[in-house]
Chains A and B, each alone.
Chain A
Amino acid sequence: MKILVCEDDFMMIKAIEHKLKSEGYLVDVVTDGNQAIEKIRQGDYDLIMTDLLMPFVGGLELINTVRNELLLKMPIIVLSRLGNEDTIIEAFKLGADDYITKPFSPNEVSIRVKRLLIKR
């Protein structure tokens, strides 16, 4: 299973990558929305995990592009800090499937990813 992680914070990248790889997933990381869209066009990802605040193209715009332009249906998990409720709601409206608040629990990441990939 291949997961694309869209996140521009070094520590968050390392933590998520560490967890997902330990679970056996293949992980690609991009640090901005433009890179993410390019990777998604080229690759075949089973799940996308994206931060909301990123350079150039943010998480909401990325979700919109994936769902409404590229018409792709892979699960999308939003990474967000507490207090971003309005933005999270908007992300769900655009087509996100789940969200994880930062800083995250390793077990929560594992469970939420597995749950969405089983459905797929």
Chain B
Amino acid sequence: MEVFKIVAVNIYYMTETTPENKHRSNESGNFSDSINYPLPDLSYLVELADGDEAFIKEIITHFVESSPGFLLSMKESAMSGDHKKLRFAAHTLLPQLTFVGILAAIPYIEKIESGDILNAELIAELDCGIKIINYGIEDLKKMI
């Protein structure tokens, strides 16, 4: 029944918390650096799992464990100007964000994938996306 616990926790956070509670603050508690975004939406993953809780845990665990290194690699590609590698990484990351429900990061990563933005704007968009994904990772860790 643990899959229902995961879904129940997810639904609680999405429906019971106020918009203010969904803001994230930096370490000092200062909301000046907050980004307003919803918590991970696991409904797609739950649909895929069709009751298999081990499947859900496997997907979330894989994402939580592999993403930090992957995001670091993306940042390095952006800083070194390897846009082809960065766009391919964005292409790979996008479906994963859907799987784990970090949907708020998708517009930022889609811009990276498109290759339509460069330089300072590219770095800014990537940083926003990474920040949201990192928050999502912390939320996902609480769910498993």
| A residues adjacent to B (C-beta < 8 A) | 9-12, 14-15, 18-19, 22, 53, 81, 102-103, 106
Contact = CB atoms under 8 A, between A and B. Distances in A.
A22 B44 CA distance: 17
| Interface class of chain B by DSSP | helix
Contacts of B59: 11, 14-15
Contact of B48 (A9, A10, A18, A81): A18
B52 A18 contact: yes
B55 interface: yes
A103 B98 CA distance: 7
Contact of B94 (A15, A53, A81, A106): A81
B50 interface: yes
Interface in B4-22: none
B142 interface: no
Contacts of B92: 9
B143 to A, nearest CB: 16
A9 B96 contact: yes
Give the interface size class of chain B. 20 to 34
Interface of B: 44, 47-50, 52, 55, 58-59, 62-63, 66, 88, 91-92, 94-96, 98-99
Nearest to A19: B48
A19 B52 CA distance: 11
Contact of B95 (A12, A18, A19, A22): A12
Contacts of A102: 95
A103 B95 contact: yes
Given A10-B62, A53-B91, A106-B48, A18 B99 contact: no
A18 B49 CA distance: 8
B48 A15 contact: yes
Contact of A103 (B50, B88, B99): B99
Contacts of B52: 18
A77 to B, nearest CB: 16
